[in-house]
Amino acid sequence: MMDVGRHPNVEMLTFSEVEQVTGFVGNFNVTVRKKARYVNPDECTSCDECTKVCPVAVPDEYQQGFSSRKAIYLPFPQAVPSSYILNMENCLGNNPIACGKCQDVCEKKCINYDDSDELINIEVGVIIAATGMEVYDPTEYDEYGYTRYENVITSLEFERLICAGGPTEGHFIRPTDRETPKSIGFIQCVGSRSTDGRGNPYCSNICCMNTVKDTLLLCDHYSGVEIKVFYMDIRAFGKGFEDLYMRSKEEGVKYIRGIPGEVVENSDNKNLILTVENTTTGKLEKHDLEMLVLSQGVIPRKDNAKIRQLLTLSTTSDGFIMESHPKLKPVDAPTKGIFLAGCMESPKDVKDSVTQSGAAAARASILLNAGETKVEAITSMVDPDKCNYCGVCSRVCPYNAILAPDKKTKKLPTIIQAACAGCGACASECQQDAIYMRHFRDEQLTAQVEAILAEDPYKQLVVFACNWCSYAGGDMAGTSRLQYPTACRLIRTMCSGRVDEKFVLQAFKLGAPMVLVSGCHFTDCHYISAVHWTQKRMDRLWNKLDKLGIRPERLQLEWISAAEGQKFAKVMRNMEEKLATVTQEEIEYTMKALAEDEEKEKVKKQKKDKAVEVSS
């Protein structure tokens, strides 16, 4: 961090927050709020005279509340810049100045009570997002007694207690009697791999090895301490991790397979009695321990939704930020020019974070060095003759790639080609057909529908499949030699968001008995949120079919990922079964009803156009 602070090519903005990000790859404009520090970092020498006179004492967040800090303080010992900061919420007041002692003793005169936030604009070509994660608060696991029993602490609190720079200067003591505990227990997976509604279902990745490291630290510092680790299974998968785990066992640490169901405090000596089912022996055991450490999991930042909105990113079902492709673009965000590093993407240890940061920096430098970027061949275009300036296109774009039109000034929507990823949601949502997608134009897709239904239409299953997931799922079914009906006819679109209502209606009008729209699962969507519009559109289509007296179940929707070959085959077999229930009369009625509806719509549109012409 010191090296970064000193580097001539790196400008560090600490104690700052990104407020807005506009633009696109190569031309991002970032608005940053530099918060008021009330201390000039260039002048402050960290002499510590101010903290000596400050009368305010509040719990120190960095030391997990085990010690206190003053209202003016150094955030942590290795802080860059090594400058004090004044927390105005803790200060006795600056308007009017209630105390002012720190300003009086500061020889360098670097304390300024009139300091205020500053907004700065930065133009950048690429962005690397590394906003990190938070730790899980285990209070909801009431059976462990965290916050009820003083001797139950979290792994992060353990870290502060055993750290030489911590509140006890590295002397590990238990909070109730300030004595070194003779027996310590660790409970693994607190808030991780949980399916009972508390915590999170995913593995936090780092807790097992963190506990192994902690047990070794204890063994090194305090020989003779009895250490027990209660676990489901130890995940020591990295390089050298298994050796570390074996070393911990050799040092005498007892690993007991079983997660305690109850922790009770002995009111006399404040010891903790754990009840656990040892799943190796199948016996119920009670363990008397002087201290208990909860190995808490990690969770996404609480403000991830804001970050996601700022940078037009998407999140996984766990709440972490999703990468563009898990194998081919693991550090790229779905928005071009934005890269991800560290735990904002998924829980990971230091080594993986450093590796990912290096990869993100390399990916970013490729773009920066080239000085130019290739835009997608499949992007949207506006037809100026058809646009009525409604602005739907700019509202549905997941990438904010369409600048809104203006009816008053007759300004057409502007599509930023460098930002457009080509999902086609805008083209499908535009009721005027004023937006078309290169290579996936309406004419090209309707021609495919017509070709499929040219012969024996009542025998065909029309399937719209997205390029990245459903179509690949079909490939997976094929390469896995899974049997599925030969009647299915696939039409590939880049995203299910491109499947226009009129393609589906046209298929029915031409005699298709069943139509399937399939796309990526919401958390896999390659176009951030384009798939959301597919679901909304399907609701509209089902309502329309119902209104026309056509069975809505003849139109099916399925989210199929690239790995779900089995699901693809199952869905197709299911579609074939449903096809058998559609009668010839039903198909004929559908064709007639849709043709009549189309005629009605045409007349309605003509009347509307005429009215507009007269009024103008």
Partner 1 sequence: MAPREVLFKCLNCMHEYPGMFDMDNVTERVCPKCRSNSVRRLPKPKPDKK
Instruction: Supply the minimum distance, in Å, between the C-beta of residue 515 and partner 1.
Output: 11
Q: With respect to partner 1, which residue has the nearer C-beta, 379 or 493?
A: 493
Cβ atoms within 10 Å of 550's Cβ, excluding its own: 21
Q: Does 538 bind partner 1 (CB under 8 A)?
A: yes
Q: With respect to partner 1, which residue has the nearer C-beta, 247 or 532?
A: 532
| CA proximity to 503, closest of 589, 578, 442, 579 | 442
> Which parts of 45-117 are beta strand (E)?
58-59, 68-69, 72-73, 85-86
Q: Does 574 bind partner 1 (CB under 8 A)?
A: yes
- With residues binned 3-state (H G I as helix, E B as strand, rest as coil), the percentages for the chain, rounded to 5, are 35, 20, 45
| CA proximity to 378, closest of 506, 523, 493, 525 | 493
Instruction: Supply the minimum distance, in Å, between the C-beta of residue 516 and partner 1.
Output: 9
Cα dihedral sign, 306-312-313-318: positive
Q: Does 555 bind partner 1 (CB under 8 A)?
A: yes
Tokens of 393: 């296109």
Burial 248-272 (b: 16+ CB within 10 A, else e): beeeebebbbbbbeebebeeeebbb
Q: With respect to partner 1, which residue has the nearer C-beta, 182 or 532?
A: 532
For the chain, count helices (H), then strands (E): 16, 27
Instruction: Supply the minimum distance, in Å, between the C-beta of residue 543 and partner 1.
Output: 6
Instruction: Supply the minimum distance, in Å, between the C-beta of residue 482 and partner 1.
Output: 18
Q: With respect to partner 1, which residue has the nearer C-beta, 450 or 539?
A: 539
Q: With respect to partner 1, which residue has the nearer C-beta, 102 or 310?
A: 310
Specify whether the CB–CB gap between 125 and 337 falls below 8 A: yes
Q: DSSP class of residue 145?
A: T
Instruction: Supply the minimum distance, in Å, between the C-beta of residue 558 and partner 1.
Output: 5
Burial of 540 (0-12, 13-18, 19+ CB in 10 A): exposed
Interface residue with partner 1 among 27, 46, 535, 566 (CB under 8 A) is 535
Instruction: Supply the minimum distance, in Å, between the C-beta of residue 553 and partner 1.
Output: 4
What does the DSSP assignment read for 290-350? SEEEEEE-EEE-TTHHHHHHHHT--B-TTSSBPPSBTTTBTTB-SSTTEEE-GGGTS---H
Name the segment binding partner 1 (CB under 8 A); options: 227-235, 239-247, 438-446, 555-563: 555-563
Q: Does 536 bind partner 1 (CB under 8 A)?
A: yes
Q: With respect to partner 1, which residue has the nearer C-beta, 253 or 392?
A: 392
Name the segment binding partner 1 (CB under 8 A); options: 96-104, 353-361, 414-422, 551-559: 551-559
Sheet holding 16-22, edge to edge: 16-22, 28-34, 118-124
| CA proximity to 188, closest of 211, 214, 219 | 211
Q: With respect to partner 1, which residue has the nearer C-beta, 190 or 538?
A: 538
Instruction: Supply the minimum distance, in Å, between the C-beta of residue 204 and partner 1.
Output: 24
Q: Does 522 bind partner 1 (CB under 8 A)?
A: yes
Q: Does 428 bind partner 1 (CB under 8 A)?
A: no
The 477-516 contact track toward partner 1, x by CB under 8 A, reads: ----------------------------------------
Residue 34 three-state SS: strand
Residue 583 three-state SS: coil
d(CA 272, CA 265): 5
Q: Does 206 bind partner 1 (CB under 8 A)?
A: no
Instruction: Supply the minimum distance, in Å, between the C-beta of residue 561 and partner 1.
Output: 12
d(CA 353, CA 600): 60
Region of 326 (left: φ > 0; alpha: ψ -120 to 50; beta: rest) is: alpha
Name the segment binding partner 1 (CB under 8 A); options: 30-38, 410-418, 442-450, 547-555: 547-555
Interface residue with partner 1 among 243, 553, 596, 609 (CB under 8 A) is 553
Q: With respect to partner 1, which residue has the nearer C-beta, 204 or 315?
A: 315
Tokens of 503: 């393609």
Interface residue with partner 1 among 552, 573, 576, 593 (CB under 8 A) is 552
Instruction: Supply the minimum distance, in Å, between the C-beta of residue 521 and partner 1.
Output: 6
Q: Does 521 bind partner 1 (CB under 8 A)?
A: yes
Name the segment binding partner 1 (CB under 8 A); options: 25-33, 184-192, 220-228, 556-564: 556-564
Q: Does 306 bind partner 1 (CB under 8 A)?
A: no
- How many residues are listed for the chain in this entry? 616
Pairing of the two strands 183-190 and 226-231: parallel
Q: Does 566 bind partner 1 (CB under 8 A)?
A: no
End-to-end CA distance of the chain: 65
The 271-300 contact track toward partner 1, x by CB under 8 A, reads: ------------------------------
Q: Does 557 bind partner 1 (CB under 8 A)?
A: yes
Name the segment binding partner 1 (CB under 8 A); options: 39-47, 375-383, 426-434, 534-542: 534-542
Name the segment binding partner 1 (CB under 8 A); options: 84-92, 108-116, 133-141, 520-528: 520-528
| CA proximity to 337, closest of 187, 126, 135, 543 | 126
Contacts of 59 (CB under 8 A, 6+ apart): 65, 67, 68, 69
Q: Does 529 bind partner 1 (CB under 8 A)?
A: yes
- Count of residues that interact with partner 1, criterion CB under 8 A: 19
Q: With respect to partner 1, which residue has the nearer C-beta, 27 or 535?
A: 535
Instruction: Please give the residue ranges that form the binding site for partner 1 (CB under 8 A).
Output: 521-523, 529, 532, 535-536, 538-539, 542-543, 552-553, 555-559, 574
